[in-house]
Amino acid sequence: MLAIALDVAVIAAGLGIAGGSLAASCACYQSSIPLELVVVGLALATASIFGILGVYRHVVRFFNEHFLRELVLAVSLAAALVATGWYALFDAPWLALYLLSVLAILGPFLTWRITATALLKMAHYVERARPIRVAVYGAGVGGALLGEKLRREPGYQLVTFIDDNPELWGRRVYGARIVGPERLRELVLAKAIDQVIIAIPSASVSRRRELLNKLAELSIEVRTLPPIEEMTSSRRAAEEVRPVRAEELLSREPVKPDLASIAQELKGQVVLVTGGGGSIGGALCREILRHGPRCLIPFDSSEFNLYTIDRELQALKQRSGYDVKIVPVLGSVLSARDVDRVLREHSVDIIYHGAAYKHVPLVEGNPLQGMENNVLGTYTVAEAAIRHGARKFVLISTDKAVRPSNVMGASKRFAEKIVQSLNETGCETVLTLVRFGNVLDSAGSVVPLFRDQIRLGGPVTVTHPEVTRYFMTIPEAAELVIQAGAMSERGGEVFHLDMGEPVKIADLARKMIHLSGYKVRNESSDGVGIEIRYVGLRPGEKLYEELLIDGTGEPTQHPRIFQARDAIASWVDLEPQVETLRNAIENGDVEVVRRLLCDIVEDYRNNGAFARGAVSAHSKPAAE
């Protein structure tokens, strides 16, 4: 109502000025009604027309073509009405009166709204103290598109562009000067830049990583732009850019997979993925779906995880047109009945066994459950695969199985021995295993933990200043697992993935803090920033992880997959120990399980906290 009242007032003022000018120039006002009343009546009529035609349904500061269309129609009709009224009162041409009426109505109508919008923006700036001052790294097409959005978006101020091309230095884009990268540190201080947005969608992985490492030294918030094809004209700049992901700090240039061998492995096959709702299992399902199996079966004991991955796979199938039957199965790898049913009903060809408890402190505090799930669960699925004639069984293992110092790693080494031993029994099923280290952003990894701790203002908790880990992105791990599985011909192999260089966890925490725009308080002279707090190694945790038991690995046809040769135990010797483990778990006899694990996994006997009897049933969980 306030907007309508203001419209009547300003339009009446405009029409009053126009009417006074006509009376003065024509000197022939032909009515006994005072001009002021005529002007008010015409202003009320104009506001009524605006209301009938829907002008007041729009928020004018969000200007769009629908509002423009309705405004043009309303002004045209109102001006025609006013001009007709003027024509009866003044001796002047109707067309001239019509054009004068358009100006008298539209001018005041837009002027007060533009003024009000400007005042609202000023109030917004005052409320925020000042806009976010942004430097855009990259003055190409992506940077220009982003700069155009920033220029007209409240709350942001485009300060400068940074580009590696010297030919662009000194030029301007949307009024912002382009400078070289060597001036960035100076500009951050001199221009009080709050945020750097990387707008180089075509940059290689190594180039992006190099750039992020350089920016991490500045303790300034860094965000990135999506690929140009994902950018939209309607989305605001604040919605377009995203925070830097940890995998961008650690990932490597992709290696093209051998698509022919993967297609030969998976096309037309029935594929079962145990733990299919987990981080690695879900990534395996997504990757397998792309290669044309006849049927894909995610198998998981978590209803929510299974529901989530099924929804995602069905959407991916519909979006990409894959002709694959997807059958989510809720079940446990500890239930021979569940496993037998799915293998029998679907005649499964290939099994990727990813179901396992992987969280070191939790398994350390719950050794019976960890051994049951990781060892007996593996045996249940592998034995059923052989009995039902599956073509291949691939165990997803871990670097923590190499010279293990914790229950989780030792349980996975026990599972590896079972798979290798069963493969030597003369069965037709090919059983093999793939070993790799940590995956970024998986459940329980340090990355989401650090991200949450930074968001809450710290402290960021690291176990030890020297602790290092191997990292790989989830999609790369899934692709290489499938590639390695396809290489296995006779079974029993231990494939291990090239994890790249080990990463010091403290350095990762430091870079994540810096790229979020904060200093590390421990290293800041003014004591401001986010603290890195060292909390000590947890039960069973090692400073360094390894991928090979004997320290050697043979190359394969894929540059990031190697093959190890581990000693293989006889199934005749191992089978009684599996049954001993089963009985001890049923009886809840931790001491028998402890001795058995030490006997079977020799390195654990020397390294393990469990072997020394130092396991707590209530170890405090923390991210691995």
pLDDT of res. 64: 53
Greater pLDDT, 239 or 167: 167
Architecture of domain 259-438+471-498+545-607: 3-Layer(aba) Sandwich (3.40)
The Cβ of residue 407 has, within 10 Å, a number of other Cβ atoms equal to 34
Residues in the chain, overall count: 624
**Where is mean pLDDT largest: 52-66, 499-513, 549-563?**
499-513
Give all strands (DSSP E) within 145-194, no chain letters.
Answer: 156-162, 172-173, 176-179
> 192, exposed or middle or buried, with CB in 10 Å at 0-12, 13-18, 19+?
exposed
Where residue 594 falls among pLDDT bands split at 50, 70, 90?
A: confident
> Which of 274, 568, 585, 611 lies closest to 409 in space, CA to CA?
611
Q: Cite the DSSP H helix spans in 180-278.
A: 184-190, 205-216, 237-240, 246-250, 259-266
Dig out the tokens for 270 from the structure.
Answer: 């029935």
State mean pLDDT over 100-119: 75
Q: Which percentage of the chain shows pLDDT scores above 70? A: 82
Mean pLDDT comparison of 162-171, 432-441, 600-609, highest-scoring range: 162-171
Choice among 61-65, 502-506, 573-577 with the minimum mean pLDDT: 61-65
* Rounded (10°) CA dihedral 470, 475, 477, 482: -170
Residue range 132-244 forms a domain whose CATH class is alpha beta
For 235-249, give the secondary structure using H, E and C. Answer: CCHHHHCEECCHHHH
* Structure-block tokens of residue 140: 């190409």
CB 347, CB 263: distance < 8 Å: no
CA distances from 246 to 227, 450, 476, 511 (A): 18, 10, 14, 9
User: Which of 126, 129, 76, 122 lies closest to 101, judged by CA?
Assistant: 76
| Highest mean pLDDT: which range of 5-14, 208-217, 222-231, 350-359 | 350-359
What are the pLDDT digits (tens) for 283-340?
A: 999 999 999 999 999 999 999 999 999 999 999 999 988 999 999 999 999 999 999 9
pLDDT computed for residue 436 by the predictor: 86
Q: Is the pLDDT of residue 120 over 50?
A: yes
Q: What is the pLDDT of residue 228?
A: 55
Contact 433, 492 (CB under 8 A): no
How many angstroms separate the CA atoms of 467 and 446, rounded? 12
DSSP string, 296-324: EEEEES-HHHHHHHHHHHHHHHHHHT---
d(CA 310, CA 288): 14
pTM score, whole prediction? 0.69
Element (H, E) at 7: helix 2-26
Q: How confident is the prediction for the chain on average, in pLDDT?
A: 81
154 or 422: which leads in pLDDT: 422
pLDDT in tens, 499-550: 777 888 888 888 888 888 888 887 766 667 888 999 888 776 777 776 555 5
Cα 200 to Cα 206: distance, rounded to the nearest angstrom: 13
Other CB atoms closer than 10 Å to residue 537's CB: what's the count? Answer: 14
Which of 26-40, 80-94, 254-268, 298-312 reaches the highest mean pLDDT? Answer: 298-312
Q: Is residue 283 within 8 Å of 441, Cβ to Cβ?
A: no
Q: CB 163: neighbour CB atoms within 10 A?
A: 22
Rounded percentage of the chain residues whose pLDDT exceeds 90: 29
Residue 225, pLDDT > 50, answer yes
* pLDDT reading at 595 higher than 50: yes
Query: What distances in angstroms separate CA 322 from CA 152, 289, 317, 349, 505, one per listed residue?
Result: 42, 7, 5, 19, 40
The pLDDT of residue 536 is: 87
Reported as a pLDDT band with limits 50, 70 and 90, residue 277 is very high
CA torsion angle 150 242 304 284 (round to 10): 130
Q: Which one-letter amino acid corresponds to residue 151?
A: R
Query: Hunting for tokens 């000693």 — which residue is that?
Result: 567
Distance CA 403, CA 409 (A): 8
- Which residues participate in catalysis according to the annotation? 400
Eight-state DSSP code of residue 375: I
Residue 608's pLDDT is 53
Q: How far apart are the first and last CA of the chain?
A: 60
**pLDDT confidence band for 65 (50 / 70 / 90):** low
Confidence of residue 3 (pLDDT cuts 50, 70, 90): low
Which has more confidence, 85 or 527?
85
Q: Which residues, in sequence order, are bridge partners of residue 296?
A: 271, 326
320 burial level (CB within 10 Å; 0-12, 13-18, 19+): exposed
Residue span(s) of the chain under CATH 3.40.50.720 come to 132-244, 259-438+471-498+545-607
From 167-171, 173-177, 542-546, 571-575, the region with the lowest mean pLDDT: 542-546
pLDDT at 236 over 70: no
Distance CA 577, CA 137 (A): 61
Q: Which two tokens stand for residue 459?
A: 């402290």
Query: CA distances (Å), 379 to each of 339, 373, 421, 431, in order?
Result: 11, 10, 11, 12
Alpha helices in 456-536 (DSSP H): 474-487, 505-515
Q: Which two tokens stand for residue 176?
A: 């912002």
The one-letter amino acid code at 305 reads: N
Question: Taking Cα atoms as reference points, which of 249, 198, 608, 615 lies closest to residue 401?
Answer: 608
Tokens coding 103? 């100006």
CA 257 to chain centre: 23
